[in-house]
Structure 1
Amino acid sequence: MISKKKAIIYGIVLVVVTALFTSTFQIALGDKVVISKDMYEGYKKYNKMVGLEGMIKEDFYQKPTDKKLVDGAIKGLFSGLDDPYSQYYTKEEFERLKEQTSGSYVGIGIYISPTSEDDYITVIAPIEGSPAEKSGVQSGDKIIKVDGKPVFSKNSDEAVGMMKGKAGTEVELTLNRDGKEFNVKVKREEIVSKSIESEMLEDGIGYIKIISFSENTYKDFKAALNKLQEKGIKGLVLDVRDNGGGLLDICQKIADELIGEGTIVYTKDNKGNTEYLKSGKGKVDLPIAILTNKGSASASEILTGALLDNKAGISVGTTTFGKGLVQSVRELKDGTGYKLTTAQYFTPDGDYINGKGIKPTIEEKNETKQLDVATKWIKDQMK
């Protein structure tokens, strides 16, 4: 067992190293370090952890690396928040996270999220045309194992890394659907996510499907909207079904095109500070219906709430996923990074949707009929 003296030395080392990054470090006198009482009180809580590090290094049957121990300790710091959305990322993991918003990677093509109901990874939706969709993966499926290894929401990034790999290779998912477990083999492919699809429907109604809110989505949305307006559309259907969300600033730009002057969303942090995201005066002066389902999450819900609360349109379909928390993503100097839930968000009318979602203006559970219901409503507004 590690000696008491060595444990104390580890504690002093921790304080000294940390002190180098603060202005309250005082002075070294020979082999003694003088620090402020506040600093000592602030850092002595980590002495147990550093002491245990020494014990592990002395007694563990293999030689652990400092990097893995430090990464594990930092990951533990975030897991102590009991928040499935807050995580620390190693350099490799953070690179994978950035891929998710770039629109191109090799994998199986699914949007996933933790939920408050259990510790499993939940499929929000498979990407349209992706290997996952072709293999039968559905919205709401729980991922229990990847290649036989149990996975949970707390290690969702590890699971994502396991699902990615060389194009043409297979990965086996163990899924739980409605209480029944089964295995699905999915062949990995290069996933090039289209962010927008659009077309002209009958009777002068435009249709835009927003597949994700990624880096190029607003540019693609604006181009699609302009093209439809050139054709003289008289109404607009937006489709965010199975859209798991993405970048808030992209959602804000799209909402700004649609709702006119008003509030898009507002957030509250742990200090009670409130921040409002506003839109300008310009708007698409058309009847708008937005299609939603249980796979519509995060940015999709922000856009839906903005349309509804600003009386700029209605929603058709089923209740959305229910994610009302805002994450900030930060990259650190060494290439690592973290995602931290920093605020709750509220729709313009003050509705907190986390865990309950947004109910549609017109409920239609049959997805094959939802577009028809939306276009009928728009036609009634055009009369």
Structure 2
Amino acid sequence: MRLLGRGLLLLALFAGLAGVAVAEPETGDLRKARAYLREVKKHLLESYIDRDRVKEEDLIVAGISAMARAAKRAAIREAVMESASLEGALEAAEAADPEQDLIGLADHAARAMVSVTGDPYSHLFTDEEMNKLAKALQGEGRDESAGFMLKNQGGRVVVAYVQYGYPAYQDGIEIGDEVLEIRGRKIADVRPEEYAELCRLPAGDTLELRLRRDGREYDFRIAARKTAVKDVRFEYLGQGVGYLRLTIFDMALVRETRAALDSLTRSGMRGLILDLRHNPGGALPAATGVADLFLPQGLKITNTVSNYKPSIGGLRLPMIGGNDDFTTKVRSDYETMPMVCLINRASASASELLAGALQDHRRAVMIGETTYGKGVGQTPIILSSMMMKRYLYLTVMRYTTPNGTQVDHKGVKPDLAEDDGRPSADVFDAEWALRRSGAVEKYRDARWTAALRRLADNDGFETAG
């Protein structure tokens, strides 16, 4: 998931002007569309973290081809394909049909250029989509999440992550499952920009998915859950042991984590089990803030490297982009408490940043599986040519652990390896047949009393089916 700081999110309102002269907005769709595509191309060539892999000619070809495919008449398509530049393609489209929606064509071109990077985390967002992302980082709207994300991988669409406690997790969706259909639509007919909206799961809704796993196909019907998932779950296990599970890193996490630790301490906690399994990550300040609770002052938490260096009038904006070291600054009562940390292949991004810091400083023993391997972060860049109507959500940062270890595509390796207990294909088939038969629900409804349901809720299990 995103590794995004509050500063990045808020200051992006003017950080998107980086490298672009501040001027009066251009009038006319042609001039606006031309400026829009120039801006997108500039950031892909200059700000993208792996910019050395991006060639300008590939961006131009992709953009022109996308505009040609989107053109509403054959004459426009032919005129666009004869063009040698993005600007020329827009001019040719307008000349062929003055009624052609040039901003719409530019949207197609911009998305195609972003896709040239092959980066599953970079996207072109509308203002509405950016609004939803901002709210999610503030902890809003997640009660409508199915708890998984899709990405393109080698010509297939696969499940990128599954978050603990959400409907997809409860129903057995796994990272790497190939998506064949979603809500009755062939996945080949679905644009990447539509994935997030199609995966929403508002109250009363059911999400239908056809997936392929280990060569076998399964039809899932994921029902919306009735209760919101808590970001922080904790329990005192007795004999001085506390258990703390973090499900996502949002901007309220540090406060909630500190409150949970204080509560566990009052119950008698002398040692901690920190559970980061199936945590897809989140906001950078949340990850560094939680690390600061467990590490002594003055220690490095992470190092970030970025090609994105926004400025206004030639002055660099502080704390946005560039290369930075993040260190601990706040003293807490949990800097020496014995602890272990549980990780698995679904621990990603900010989870890996925290796990890497605790491991490098020998602060916690890592138990489980090698983590997901997402050592990059994104920021929303306002495209000034579109006056806050379009955002380039771009991978601009790569981070390492305190010892300089690369996490991206490698993950954090556990000190003690422990299989996460996923069923084999045959076992899952048997479970699937049992689930589809309805026998489990019949047994549950006949045997589970209200008291047992309350107990299961307290233990963090789903009782709704």
Question: Normalising by the residue count of structure 2, what TM-score does the alignment of the two structures yield?
Answer: 0.63
Contact preservation (8 Å) 1:210, 1:239:
yes
Match of 1:110 among 127, 147, 156: 147
| Aligned partner letter, 1:359 | K
Aligned-pair CA distance for 1:55: 4.8
Q: 1:248-259, aligned counterparts within 5 Å?
A: 248-259=284-295
Q: 1:117/1:350 Cα in 2 relative to 1: closer, same or farther (>3 Å)?
A: farther
Aligned-pair CA distance for 1:96: 2.8
| Aligned partner letter, 2:329 | G
Q: 1:121/1:366 Cα in 2 relative to 1: closer, same or farther (>3 Å)?
A: closer
Q: Which residue of 1 aligns with 2:340?
A: 289
The structure with more strand, counted as a fraction of residues: 1
Question: Is 1:181 matched up with 2:232?
Answer: no
Give distance in 1, aligned partners of 2:261 and 2:286: 15
Question: Is 1:306 matched up with 2:343?
Answer: no
Aligned-pair CA distance for 1:64: 5.0
| Aligned partner letter, 1:212 | I
Q: Which residue of 2 aligns with 1:192?
A: 228
Question: Is 1:360 matched up with 2:414?
Answer: yes
Question: Is 1:158 matched up with 2:223?
Answer: no
Q: 1:129-140, aligned counterparts within 5 Å?
A: 130-140=166-176
Q: 1:179/1:257 Cα in 2 relative to 1: closer, same or farther (>3 Å)?
A: same
Match of 2:399 among 345, 351, 365: 345
RCO comparison, higher one (Cα < 8 Å, 6+): 2
Q: Which residue of 2 aligns with 1:245?
A: 281
Contact preservation (8 Å) 1:108, 1:189:
no
Contact preservation (8 Å) 1:328, 1:341:
yes
Match of 2:390 among 300, 322, 336: 336
Q: Which residue of 1 aligns with 2:305?
A: 268
Q: Which residue of 2 aligns with 1:124?
A: 161
| Aligned partner letter, 1:358 | V
Contact preservation (8 Å) 1:121, 1:156:
no
SS in 2 for 1:257: helix
Contact preservation (8 Å) 1:126, 1:138:
no
Give distance in 1, aligned partners of 2:366 and 2:199: 34
Q: 1:123/1:79 Cα in 2 relative to 1: closer, same or farther (>3 Å)?
A: closer
Q: 1:214/1:190 Cα in 2 relative to 1: closer, same or farther (>3 Å)?
A: farther
Aligned-pair CA distance for 1:99: 3.8
Structure 2: segments with no counterpart, 5+ residues: 1-29, 40-59, 65-82, 310-321, 423-465
Give distance in 1, aligned partners of 2:92 and 2:216: 43
Q: 1:115/1:18 Cα in 2 relative to 1: closer, same or farther (>3 Å)?
A: closer
Aligned-pair CA distance for 1:331: 4.7
Question: Normalising by the residue count of structure 1, what TM-score does the alignment of the two structures yield?
Answer: 0.76
**Cα shift readout 1:79-136 (whole Å, capped 9, x = no counterpart):** 23232211110122223323432334354521325376664232411440x3323433
Aligned-pair CA distance for 1:281: 5.9
Give distance in 2, aligned partners of 1:87 and 1:113: 13
Q: 1:175/1:90 Cα in 2 relative to 1: closer, same or farther (>3 Å)?
A: same
> 309-318 vs 163-172, which deviates more?
163-172
Aligned-pair CA distance for 1:199: 0.7
Question: Is 1:211 matched up with 2:244?
Answer: no
Structure 1: segments with no counterpart, 5+ residues: 1-12, 23-42, 369-383
Question: Is 1:316 matched up with 2:367?
Answer: yes
Aligned-pair CA distance for 1:310: 1.0
SS in 2 for 1:100: helix
SS in 2 for 1:201: strand
Contact preservation (8 Å) 2:145, 2:201:
no
Give distance in 2, aligned partners of 1:190 and 1:66: 44
Give distance in 2, aligned partners of 1:179 and 1:260: 49
Give distance in 1, aligned partners of 2:217 and 2:350: 31
Q: 1:51-130, aligned counterparts within 5 Å?
A: 51-56=88-93, 64-105=100-141, 107-112=144-149, 114=151, 119-128=156-165, 130=166
Aligned-pair CA distance for 1:166: 4.7
**Cα shift readout 1:344-370 (whole Å, capped 9, x = no counterpart):** 1111111102112111011111459xx
Over the aligned positions, Cα root-mean-square deviation in angstroms equals 3.4
Contact preservation (8 Å) 1:322, 1:355:
yes
> 293-302 vs 322-331, which deviates more?
322-331
Q: Which residue of 2 aligns with 1:28?
A: none
